[in-house]
Structure 1
Amino acid sequence: MKAIIFDQFGAADVLKIGEVLEPVLRPHDLLVRTRAAGVNRADLTHRRGGYGRPDFGDSTIMGLEIAGDVIAVGDEVRGFAAGDRVMGIVGGGAYAEVSRIDYRMAMPIPASLDYVQAAAITEVFVTAHEALIHLGRLEARETVLVHAGAGGVGGAAVQLAHALGATVFATAQSSAHDLVHKLGADHAIDYEKEDFAEVIARLTEGRGVDLILDFIGAPYFERNVNSLGFGGRLVQIGIMGGIENAKMPLDRLLYRHLQIIGTVMKSRTQDVKHGMSRRFKERWLPEFAKGRLVPVIDSTFPLAAAGAAHKRMEDGLNVGKIVLTT
């Protein structure tokens, strides 16, 4: 089968299309004819060598998110059959014509969605659900600040928070404010021209928000803590801005009874990942079938152009998901 391979870590142009063996079917696996694969920032880190030469549980081939057709099922699989359209998070191997997925991570693709849309759902929406609701415990009528609200996970979090009935603040470039409002944000903050902490203080009359989802890290950390209200929660799900010189206002943490929670999906055990997928599927998958939640697609590239897809993401040009098609 054809797959994306590379011989050395480096820039996007190290990615090549080549021939590799198809994955071996195991008892709990589905073999899937991959029709589309989501591109995620973890793929960029993989290519640059940030994980070494990883095996995310299933494959050293890049890619963590697929949509396609089941072509074979393992002996212990329940609820799926050859010919089913499925989507889900995989332990590597998405950048290939055939991939395999633990059936407990797989979900049926709603009939109203095509493969490209399906490939743009699971990684970002499962992560957003876990951060917002399972860890962040967001409830209706609470307030949440979502950083990078026009990005993949950020945009998903804005939609889920709005659907839950929360008041949503989102940071984004001014050019993306129309999008984040469309996704459900009540207030859009231009992070390039505004200090989000000052905006939150003004709009909440100094109370702060109940929950913050942050992908940036050290440059936002102190302001995040200062933007939380009494009993507020900060869920840290990324460190795109770095980890150095993060300042902690301990008095605010102490006297406002704040909680700081970190989470990374890739390092979770398979059992935990099964639970994450199950919780998302049970609560939100019907909302996609009804059109109440929608994946946001930035662009599509053929599998052989994976390097160009990576370059677009690295250059910060995408608003929504980049998807590869096979």
Structure 2
Amino acid sequence: MKAIIIHEFGDADVLKLSDAATPEVRPNDLLVRVYAAGVNRADLTHRTGGYGHPDFGDSPIIGLEIAGEVIGKGSAVEGFEVGARVMGVVGGGAYAELARIDYRMAMPIPAQLDYVHAAAIPEVFVTAHEAMIHLARLTSGDSVLIHAAAGGVGSAAVQLAYATGATVYATTDGSKLSRVEHLGADVAIDYKTQDFADVIARKTDGQGVDVIIDFVGKPYFERNIASLAKGGRLIQVGILGGGGSVNVTLEQILYRHLQIIGTVMKSRTQPQKHAMIKRFRDHWLERFEGAGSLEPVVDSTFPLSRAADAHRRMESSENVGKIILTMQPEDLIEG
């Protein structure tokens, strides 16, 4: 089969289409003919050596989410048959014609969705649900500030917050404000020209928001703390703007009853990941069908042979929603 295998860490040019062996199917695996694969920030970290090893422990092939058709299954698989359309999160191996996936990490694709839009769901919507609904306990009537709201997880979080009945504040680039408002943001904030902490203070009469979902990290930390309401929850999902030490006054956390929670899917145990998928599936999967349904946001598609261009698109930060690789036969031709 054709796949993207990284022989050395580096810039996007290290992503080359190569021949690879068909993955071995273990008892709990589905073997999937991949028609679309999502590109994630974790893929960029993988490609540049940020994880310190060449694979995710399950495959030497890059990529974490797939959509495709089941063509084989292991002896312990329950609930899926050959021919089923599935989407889900894999432990590596997504940038390929064929991939294996633990059946407990797979979900049926809603009938009205094609493979490209299905591939835009698993990683971002599961992460958004875990951070905002499960960990932050967002409910109807709450308020939430979502940073990087035009990105993959951010755009999913805006939709889930809107569907939950929360008041949604969202930061993004000025050119993307209308798109974020279309997804459900009540107040879209241009992070380049506005101080989000000032906007939150003004819009909430100094009370702050109940929940903040942050992907940026250190540059936003102190303003995030200042923007939380009493009893507020800050969920740290990423550190795109930088990690390291931050300043916090413990009395603020103590007397304002604040909670600071970190979450990363990649470092969870496999049973924890299974539980994350189940929570999302039970809560939201049927909401991707019918009128008023949730919307997988696709920014652009690239054939697998142009994976490097897909990474450059993500590195530009110009995308709104997901970047998807496609694996039709004509997409597997180099040149």
Q: Deviations over 1:123-169 (max 9, x none)?
A: 00000000001101111100000001111001100000000000000
What is the CA RMSD across the aligned residues, in angstroms?
0.9
Normalising by structure 1, we get a TM-score of 0.98
Q: Which amino acid is 2:309 matched to? A: A
Q: Distance in 2 between matches of 1:145 and 1:134?
A: 16
Map 1:145-294 to 2 at 5 A: 145-291=145-291, 292-294=293-295
TM-score (norm 2): 0.96
Query: Structure 1, unaligned stretches of length 5 or more?
Result: none
Give the 3-state SS of the residue equivalent to 2:283 in structure 1.
helix
Q: 2:76 aligned with 1:81, yes or no?
A: no
* C-alpha separation in 2, matches of 1:208 and 1:54: 43
Matches within 5 A, 1:63-82: 63-82=63-82
| Structure-1 residue corresponding to 2:45 | 45
Contact map agreement 2:38 2:323 (CA 8 A) in 1: yes
- Aligned-partner SS, 1:161: helix
Task: Determine whether 1:133 maps to 2:128.
Answer: no
Contact 1:222 1:249 in 2 (8 A): no
Moved over 3 A (4+): none
Instruction: Provide the rounded CA distance (Å) in 2 between the counterparts of 1:87 and 1:221.
Output: 34
The Cα of 1:6 is off from its aligned counterpart by 2.2
User: Retained in 1: the 8 A contact 2:34–2:66?
Assistant: yes
What letter corresponds to residue 86 of structure 2 in structure 1?
V
How far did 1:264 drift?
Answer: 0.6
Report the 3-state secondary structure (helix = DSSP H, G, I; strand = E; otherwise coil) of the residue aligned with 1:261: strand
- From the superposition, tell whether residues 57 and 282 of structure 1 become closer, same or farther in structure 2 (CA, over 3 Å): farther
Contact 1:53/1:60 (<8 A) preserved: no
1:112-131 maps to which residues of 2 (within 5 A)?
Answer: 112-131=112-131
Q: CA deviation at 1:249?
A: 3.0
Q: Distance in 1 between matches of 2:52 and 2:21?
A: 22
Equivalent in the alignment of 1:311: 312
Q: SS of the residue aligned with 1:207?
A: coil
Aligned to 1:320: 321
Establish whether residue 296 from structure 1 lines up as the match of residue 326 from structure 2. no
Gaps of 5+ in 2: 328-335
State the number of aligned residues: 326
1:24 aligned residue: 24
Structure 2 CA distance for aligned equivalents of residues 253 and 196 of structure 1:
20
SS in 1 for 2:32: strand
Report what 1:142 is aligned to: 142
Alignment-mate amino acid for residue 218 of structure 1: K
Give 1:290 deviation, angstroms. Answer: 2.2
Equivalent AA in structure 1 for residue 299 of structure 2: D
The percentage of counterpart residues that share the same residue type is 66
Q: Which residue of 1 aligns with 2:333?
A: none
Give the C-alpha shift of residue 252 in structure 1: 2.0
Partner of 1:35: 35
Letter of the 1:307 counterpart: A
Write the letter of the residue equivalent to 2:75: D
Q: What letter is aligned with 1:12? A: A
SS at match of 1:82: coil
**Contact between 1:226 and 1:249, CA under 8 Å: does it hold in 2?**
no
The answer to whether the 8 A contact 1:37-1:324 is kept is yes
TM-fit CA distance, 1:250? 2.6
Secondary structure of the corresponding residue to residue 149 of structure 1: coil
Residue 319 of structure 2 aligns with an amino acid whose one-letter code is N
Q: CA deviation at 1:245?
A: 4.7
Q: CA shift at 1:319, angstroms?
A: 1.1
Report SS of the residue matched to 1:309: helix
Alpha-carbon distance between aligned partners in 2 of 1:106 and 1:61, rounded to the nearest angstrom? 19
Task: Please give the secondary structure, in 1, of the residue aligned with 2:86.
Answer: strand
